Structure 1
Amino acid sequence: MTNIMVVDINATTVYRIKKILEGIPVDIVSATTMYEAINRVGNLQSILDLIIIDVNLGPEDGYELITKLKEINPNLMVIIATSLNTRKSFVRAIRVGANDYILKPFDDDYMKQKLISHIKFIDSAKTLPSTSQKQIDTSIYNSIRKAVRENHELLIGLILVYNKKNPAQPANNVRDIALIKGLYRDIENSLNLEDEVFSYSNNGFVIVLHKKSIHMKTATIELYKEICESYFFNKDIDDFSFEIEFINLPNEIDPRQNALSILAGRIEKNMG
């Protein structure tokens, strides 16, 4: 279920959007003023996914409202639907973190196509697998123990995806999380049966490749570079980049060392 709030002084907009999304599993609430919208988001912040807002709210500033709503819930996806068709309004939309800008009057079929696309992103972000740090540490520990016991090598990799404009800012909205974590499936499809991949925070992946020698490290890095580049190209994503590091055990570090910390340090230095 996707939870949507429509903020518009015109009640007709709410009615149209409800009709457009009829039969699709969504729950829609509405607000007509800044106070009402802030109050509703405050009450629903744990479940609200998407806001459709006309920034032309009479005497109130819709862009200021978006900023306030994102302070309450930074994960909100925001779609602006307005008749304001100026460069200034587009620029302000980008600055406040809007995910889409749709001009009124809008065509119902066009709006439906847009909304369904965004709802799919939201659903994807909700259903993609997540892994706790403890699970990752336990899996790496068990993999290293097995490698030492069976006397074979392994490769452990870390991929971090970041926004080019602000590398220090992790993905924190639904669109970015869904896009970045969508890589999970492509990476998973590249693995052998015994290998593993884990989500790492909101912007990365840990890959454990069993029985992989140090001689395979360069080719492995190139493989995952190609997977990431192809994914971003096919999705037409140009605002993200990535860093990849792999480490071989036991040839490059002592198995008792924390491989993930070493990988993170190397990537931080590369981005440096």
Structure 2
Amino acid sequence: MSINRILVADDEESMRWVLSKALRKKGFSVDLARDGDEALRLIQTHSYDMAILDIKMPGLTGLELLDRVRELKSDLLVVIMTAEASMKNAVEAMKRGAYDYITKPFDLDVIDAIVEKVNRAQEMTSQVTVLKEELKDRYQLEKTIIGNSAAMREVYKTIGKVAPSDVTVLIQGESGTGKELIARAIHFNSRRLGKPFIALNCAAIPKELLESELFGFEKGAFTGAVERKLGKFEQANGGTIFLDEIGDMPLDLQAKILRVLQEKEVTRTGGSQNIAVDVRIVAATNQDLEEKVRQKEFREDLFYRLNVVPIQLVPLRERKEDIPPLVEYFLQKACAELETPRKQCAPDAFRLLSDHNWPGNVRELENTMKRAVILSSDLLLTASDFPGLRRQKGSGERAANEELSLEGIVDIKLRSCFSNMDKMESGDVHTMVLEQVERPLIRFVLEKTRGNQVRAADILGINRNTLRKKIQELGIEVKKD
């Protein structure tokens, strides 16, 4: 079977026209729907091989229509379109059974690639995997995993696809890229939600103690074992166990992990009873496990049992478009945790942070923002509040010579806001921009008036008492000649 007839549902006439013209030119039969309700009627009365649905439409939304499609025609392939790229939308669409997820605007070659991929897959199998449509609960991932780069969107789609099943997942990436967050995202979007999520760093525990941590021990098993202790696998029963830095696990212990995967049972140290466990294993490493296999430092059979679904996290230096929203998130998180007034980053600080290569990845960025919040008494963080960060060649002189402009501040803030629009409440952009612009504006006018508050208030068009209040609230130092 190959793709022949396609339904396109979008409330934008221009989008319907462009897609229908392009698809018909490729030889496909195309029907159009202006909203979700019309699309549902067409699906109920016609036979389609694929449906391309906008996520926001009058009547039934794309996701609601996707749910109905899964009930009516589970073999219909659905591609979700959206103008708002967000992790929440991507994960939700893939979990509900979407075949793919694309962000507007997109090149028409993307649609061609999807159709080609479908045709190749259907030549090998007559059935297309349909993900579970019923969700028990949701963990608000967009609050903890930040990024809308192409690389991160692929990760979100994989999470949505793999979470409902129990297959093992191997997350690979440099230290600090957020491997545990991805593991938690998989767990919180699975049927095991509400059951334990147990994390264990295999590199942080001495090798001689790692086995008893994983499998537990019986009373008297060794000196100091004064009572029975359950291991991590038993603690995680019914849920998920996250084995971080599994590349550091000793070979003899790797064999026992393989047995758990195969037999689904453990034996406590010093015990003889086999204990059944129902645990999903998610592993992570910052090492090249394939190379370790070649070097006989990691079991080949265990590697293939773990690497059923690989997820590769790219380093922060390769997705620098995610730095501005990450900076905003970690800055406000640090201010909330440290109970300090809300701070903002100036354009020169954003440039410096974006130029840095971040060898410690997201973890290093988070710690850098927290340190700046602690050490700076200023409400506007500038490049001088981030000493020691390396700039790209030639950028240091540029950043030092460029003046802090109101236009630059607004531009940086709006770009950051629009990249995270799905997380913002109504009116938040106005408030956030005003907070960032107000302080440099007042300070600039005071500098030009040489500290004359009466003249500054007149220029600003505000009452002198209001200006005094603002100076105090914003912590502005008034210098008089």
TM-score, normalised to structure 1's length?
A: 0.43
Structure (1 or 2) with the larger CA radius of gyration: 2
Q: Which has the higher strand share?
A: 1
Choose between structure 1 and 2 for higher RCO, CA contacts under 8 A separated by at least 6 residues: 1
TM-score, normalised to structure 2's length?
A: 0.26
